[in-house]
Structure 1
């Protein structure tokens, strides 16, 4: 097998001629687009997939990867660098045995690598959500849900991106796609379809993760509000008691207690403070706030 990797937005005509790529695939080779597609023409096949790329702040865009398959060769084309292709080329830089592979098997391997990028995106997403939940539970996160709303948009974008590949991976697993392929290649394509379904499930679970984090934030806000209300209720009850005492002391009746002058005043104030202190001790012991 001969592997050609091109980092360009088009394909040189000389390469197309040397590889004897059919005219329908030549048109695909020179086209640009962001919709995953797949095609076959005899011994030749072609597919386009989108590889998620993390641009920072949990935002992802898609890098398009075109794969062209023919007798004894496979050509990959991408306009921007793709991490897993660079890693693969670096790994196989010396004493590579990739040439021993069947071109169809290697095409399946590259598509499997592309699916792994979605699992990596999910792991980055989950890691950030875990940090947010830890901040929420430790009261280090404010009540602003804008960041969670943006993460919800990110989950929706990745879900649309992975779901657009259904036609690619379902076509690979069909019996009418390259029926002359060996049984081992057919099984590999079937495993690819299952891996694709696993990736879809993982990406779709991101939305539920955001909803769960939002519920944690909502519950934390509710607990904080309840705590504030308990404090306010305690203060209202304490000052209400003092108001009753002050109101009773202000009644215009001729009783001996009202003739005690300074002594009666300080006794009343001391009694109110003592009762208030007792209420604070009891409430703290019973963890009312």
Structure 2
């Protein structure tokens, strides 16, 4: 049982799949990487999730990874980066994860490309990598892609995480705006603060990638590669700009929500002031009547005693009720 658990753990740490353009795809044990003989129509993908030092050393030795690449991969920094050495190149990016558009977490993903092989390295499981492995498990023609094109595909999936985060963010904004328009809800500032922080964090996570994607699309990055791979990198840079535009728009969405909140608060304040003004007019009118009745004139009305008092009170009540009815009819409050 312990041996089976250890084997499953190794399978989760290191997953390797050999894609064959002829349709003969198969999984490969990471311990057998050194015995593989990759051909032109082959593409090896090795996915490493929080590997231990021995696993890393074995994979690097099997793939003959140069020292500059090993040093870059072993770095603990999370800043997006692009480097190359001979036929090897590596890129470090940060994918975004979150389930409601606000609780955003960064997941560092390092991709290493070489002739007929790609390695992906990350500390935590990344959903789109699992999805891709499951989707292509039944056979595919990915083996016809070059390593550069496959890295471009993985980076495109990486950008999709930002599109998904923006979509979740927009849902959160719409939910907030519906709440703002609800007359029973008063305080939306805490939610607006959360949205503003999320928009800023999303931009800080994506903006540093500009140097990486622009460098990938330049002709001097891989001048010996085919036009097809260069076209993939150029399309990837365009998609990055689209993602950046959408992330920039999240701040405008928050500003729009704040303006809606401000307008709603102003409308509620105006309604309250209108009601207070109406009450002041009615009470002031009744005060004038009471003042007139309190004048020291020897008028016959003042000799009616209790009857006159109740007549005055009734007149005030009728005047107040008529004023309220008129205000409701004219929708003053």
Cα shift at 1:93: 1.5
Q: From 81, 102, 123, give the equivalent of 1:37.
A: 81
**1:89 correspondence with 2:125:** no
Task: After superposing the two structures, state which structure 1 stretch, 55-64 or 162-171, moved more.
Answer: 55-64
CA RMSD of aligned residues (A): 1.4
- Larger relative CO (CA 8 A, sep 6+): 1 or 2? 1
- Give, in whole Å, the separation in 2 of the partners of 1:257 and 1:214: 60
Match of 1:18 in 2: 62
Q: Secondary structure at the match of 2:98?
A: strand
Match of 2:48 in 1: 6
Cα shift at 1:265: 1.5
Q: From 138, 142, 156, give the equivalent of 2:182.
A: 138
- Give, in whole Å, the separation in 1 of the partners of 2:184 and 2:114: 57
Conservation of the 8 A alpha-carbon contact between 1:143 and 1:217: no
Cα deviation per residue 1:119-152 (whole Å; 9 max; x = unaligned)? Answer: 1001111101101100111224332412211221
Q: From 103, 114, 123, give the equivalent of 1:59.
A: 103
Give runs of ≥4 in structure 1 deviating > 6 Å: none
Cα shift at 1:285: 1.3
- Give, in whole Å, the separation in 2 of the partners of 1:95 and 1:152: 44
Match of 1:287 in 2: 331
TM-score normalised to the size of structure 2?
A: 0.84
- 1:148-159 equivalences under 5 Å are 148-159=192-203
TM-score normalised to the size of structure 1?
A: 0.96
Q: Secondary structure at the match of 1:180?
A: coil
- Give, in whole Å, the separation in 1 of the partners of 2:94 and 2:274: 54
**1:233 correspondence with 2:266:** no
Cα shift at 1:247: 1.0
Task: After superposing the two structures, state which structure 1 stretch, 180-189 or 97-106, moved more.
Answer: 97-106
For these two proteins, the number of residue pairs brought into alignment is 289
Conservation of the 8 A alpha-carbon contact between 1:143 and 1:221: no
Q: 1:49 to 1:153 in 2, by over 3 A?
A: same
- 1:187-202 equivalences under 5 Å are 187-202=231-246
Q: 1:50 to 1:140 in 2, by over 3 A?
A: farther
- 1:153-232 equivalences under 5 Å are 153-232=197-276
Cα shift at 1:97: 2.6
Conservation of the 8 A alpha-carbon contact between 1:53 and 1:62: yes
Q: Secondary structure at the match of 1:165?
A: helix
Cα shift at 1:33: 1.7
Match of 1:110 in 2: 154
